[in-house]
Amino acid sequence: MTAQPIESPATEAIAPQHGAEVFVPLNQLKASPKNARKTPHSAAAIEALAASIKAKGVLQPPVVEIEVNDEGGPTGNYLVTIGEGRRQALRLLSKRKAIKRTHPVKVIVDADNDAHEISLDENITREAMHPADQVEAFRRLAEEKGYGPEEIGARFGVSAHVVRQRLRLAAAAPELMTAYREERLALDQLTAFCVSEDQDRQRQVLEQIGPHTPAYAIRRAMTESKVRADDRRAAFVGSEAYEAEGGSILRDLFTEDGGGWFEDVGLLDRLVSEKLVGLADEARAREGWKWAEAAGEYAEVSALGRVYPVAVERSEADAAAITALSEEYDRLVSETDSAEALPPEVDARLEDIDKALQALGPDFDYPVEVKARAGIMVLLGHDGLARFERGLVRPEDVVSNRAFDPEAPDIEGEDDGTGTGGDAGREGRREETEPDEGPGLSDRLLIDLTAHKTMGLRDAVQADAAAALATVVHALALQVFYPGYGMWTPLQLRLTVNGLDRLAPGVEDGPAGRRVRDRCEAWGARLPERADALWEVLAPMRRADLLDLMACCVGVGLYAVRDPHDRRPGALALAERLATEVGLDMAGTWSATAASYFSRVAKARVLEDVTGATNAEEADRIAGFKKGDMAEAAERLVEGKGWLPAVLRTEPAVSEAEGEAAPADGEGEATDADAYPLAAE
């Protein structure tokens, strides 16, 4: 701090006159009880003043009045009427040993005016600098004096990040700054323009927008050809790897999370592909698959057949070791469940147990001979993480039926779209053969006799509910898990499994799709590899497990898509009743966004939906927006409210106590309006 000349402080004997400029020791300056400002200065304001005083001294002397004692004589102290913030900033510097407690402070004595009135006057009649002027001033300091953000921040008591924000605003096109000074642009709109320093693009967007365009819409227009930093591709590659390859990131200095946009989309996509290929190659080498490749979409996975891991056969010693380690792990977790933090020795032991269990290998794995025919695909998940799909079989790698009968044709698979079967189906198919009916029976007699046997079988199965359940589950499981073997059952039950990803890209990778796939994969691991061994596994299975497997298969076979070219009013009406029965709540599976809904309906529907989700005032506020901006605004307005379009809502179940019970099956007649409410509108 620049030293100031020290004059002899005023004394009680010689009281300074009105208007006198004197130097007073800091420890003789006191807060005035007549100061009109009762709300204390913020800590940030005092810090800023202290930084300014340290760099440049006190630029404006405080105004003081002489403190007097009970007899009316001067005490030697002075009450600060104007400049209390400067006094506190000086005291802060003294506390930090930057100046002495007796540091001389130049003040102006006011002995004539009312102290309270001039304090009020000083706070009311002044006008703060326009932010645009502050931006321009920071820019001049950077350009003319070469100050960096850190030095400017230190001289004015603000963070270097704030200075960088001001300097970014200083890079705005002159037309933008003029519009801001004339209040045709708000500060948040100006910051949205300045996410990019491309002044030509700023001018283009300025010509396109209206005066009430929200900041996020401006920011979107400024970055429409870039990829957001929270995009799954950006999260997967990472900013460090992207920048190491020469990619540039447009940083957003005006948001708390410091996000931004990856500007080179081509480079980002290439890095995603290369990383997926690298992970696939590593998995192939590590796990021993026949082939490995990267997949762009889940449809590439579901088009292939699949085999599942089988239980690993372990020695008695390994099985005993796993049991003992698992029991010890559970015991340690149970004993320390109430502790806020695990004791170091327990934490270390749990880590050792984890390593030991991993060394013993997984409970389920793919046999070596299966890996020699199957492969692995790696694709980018919705969460920005790599997803490994193992046990995939190409059509040419399916074991041919001719291995059992050279004259038999190959069995064609079905495209089930679930990732549980596909064109190739499960591995190791075995040719279906008919039992020997014995010599000398004509075709007509054979038909006659087996018709009688079929009736007997119907009678017997009707009397045995367990066998009936196993038969139904067997027929369903054949069609879901063993495509091409759907006819290997005497039950005339046809289950069609249609993929949905081609109708709604990404649906298979959504929350519900992942749960469906996980259940199928869990059951796939429990079922035998060969279709002809399925009955032996199902027949002794517990009823609860059979019901669970049946639910898995039935769920995969449901189809309630409303296609105007495939009108099934009865089926769709029953699907709605089924949704009510199971309490389906799509709010946990689907949410309305600009991409998923609002950009795909008319503006009138957007406004109607926003009114229903919020209120008419919010809808009126966005009524003048362009379609893209309206969709973005609608997404934010309904976010977190659990709103759903009518077609995704489920009617609540109504009990007889609450109202008229739903009609029994077959009662009433479903109309096209019931099945297609959107078309009826």
pLDDT at residue 665 tops 70:
no
Please say whether the beta carbons of 336 and 343 come within 8 A.
Answer: yes
Max alpha carbon distance in the chain (Å)? 144
Same domain, 456 and 520: yes
- Which residues is 380 bridged to in the sheet? 386
Considering the chain, what is the average pLDDT of its residues? 78
CA separation for the pair 36, 116 (Å, rounded): 6
- Is residue 588 in some structural domain? yes
Greater confidence, 545 or 365?
545
The per-residue pLDDT for range 75-123, each reduced to its tens digit, is: 888 999 888 888 988 998 888 888 888 899 989 888 878 878 777 777 6
Task: Determine the Cα–Cα distance for residues 310 and 524; give it in Å rounded to an integer.
Answer: 9
Q: Write down the pLDDT at residue 420.
A: 45
DSSP line for 548-585: HHHHHHHHHH-----BTTB--HHHHHHHHHHHHHHT--
The reply to whether 297 and 390 lie within a common domain is yes
The answer to whether residue 257 is domain-embedded is no
**pLDDT classification of 425: cutoffs 50, 70, 90:** very low
Q: Which of 536 and 668 is assigned the larger pLDDT?
A: 536
Query: What's phi and psi for 563, nearest 5 deg?
Result: -110, 120
> Which of 102, 124, 146 is the last residue in one of the domains?
124
Length of the chain: 681
- Helix-then-strand count for the chain, H and E: 28, 14
Question: Closest Cα partner for 631 from 670, 592, 590?
Answer: 592
The arithmetic mean of pLDDT across residues 643-668, rounded, is: 64
Measured distance CA(592)–CA(613) in Å, rounded: 11
Is the residue at 279 inside a domain?
no
324-328, 330-334, 430-434, 566-570 — which is least confidently predicted? 430-434
Tell me, yes or no, whether 207 lies in a domain: no
Strand partners, 30: 79
Instruction: Indicate if 493 and 358 belong to the same structural domain.
Output: no
The residues facing 66 across adjacent strands are 78
- At 224-239, the pLDDT tens digits run 767 788 788 888 998 8
| Residues 475-514: tens digit of each pLDDT | 888 888 876 676 778 888 888 788 787 778 778 778 888 8
> Residue 611 has what pLDDT?
93
Which band of pLDDT confidence, cut at 50, 70 and 90, is reported for residue 288?
Answer: very high
Using N-to-C axis directions, what is the helix angle for 465-481 and 443-462, rounded to 10°? 110
Q: What 3 state SS string does 207-222 have?
A: HHCCCCCCHHHHHHHH
For residues 306 and 419, the answer to whether their CB atoms sit within 8 Å is yes
Task: Say which residues have a Cβ less than 8 Å from residue 214's Cβ, sequence separation at least 6.
Answer: 629, 633
pLDDT band at 634 (very low <50, low <70, confident <90, very high): very high
pLDDT at 538: 92
Instruction: Identify whether residues 333 and 364 lie together within a single domain.
Output: yes
pLDDT at 141: 77
Q: Are residues 74 and 41 in the same domain?
A: yes
How far apart, in whole angstroms, are the C-alpha atoms of residue 626 and residue 41? 44
pLDDT tens per residue across span 159-214: 777 777 777 777 788 888 888 888 888 887 888 888 777 787 788 778 767 667 77
Per the structure, the count of domains in the chain is 4
Residue 284: pLDDT above 90?
yes
Q: What is the pLDDT of residue 439?
A: 57
- Domain that includes residue 667, residue range: 580-680
Q: Do residue 393 and residue 425 come from a single domain?
A: no
Encode pLDDT of 127-154 as tens digits.
666 777 777 777 777 777 788 777 777 7
Would you place residue 612 in the very low, low, confident or very high pLDDT band (cuts 50, 70, 90)? very high
Do 613 and 545 belong to one domain? no
Q: 441-471 pLDDT, tens per residue?
A: 777 777 777 777 777 777 777 787 887 888 8
188 is a domain residue: no
Model confidence at 681, in pLDDT bands (50, 70, 90)? Answer: very low
pLDDT tens per residue across span 338-397: 777 788 888 888 889 888 888 888 777 888 888 998 999 998 887 788 989 998 988 788
Burial class (CB in 10 A: 0-12, 13-18, 19+), 2: exposed
Based on the fold, state whether residues 479 and 521 are members of the same structural domain.
Answer: yes
In a domain, 354, yes or no: yes
Residues 515 and 592 in one domain: no
Kindly state the average pLDDT of the residues 307-334: 85
The reply to whether 303 and 388 lie within a common domain is yes
Q: What is the pLDDT of residue 367?
A: 86
Does 35 map to a domain? yes
Q: For residues 420 and 502, state if they share a domain.
A: yes
Q: Is residue 9 in a domain?
A: no
- Name the nearest CA neighbour of 629 among 224, 183, 203, 254: 224
Same domain, 554 and 589: no
3-state percent helix, strand, coil for the chain, nearest multiple of 5: 50, 10, 40
pTM across the whole model: 0.51
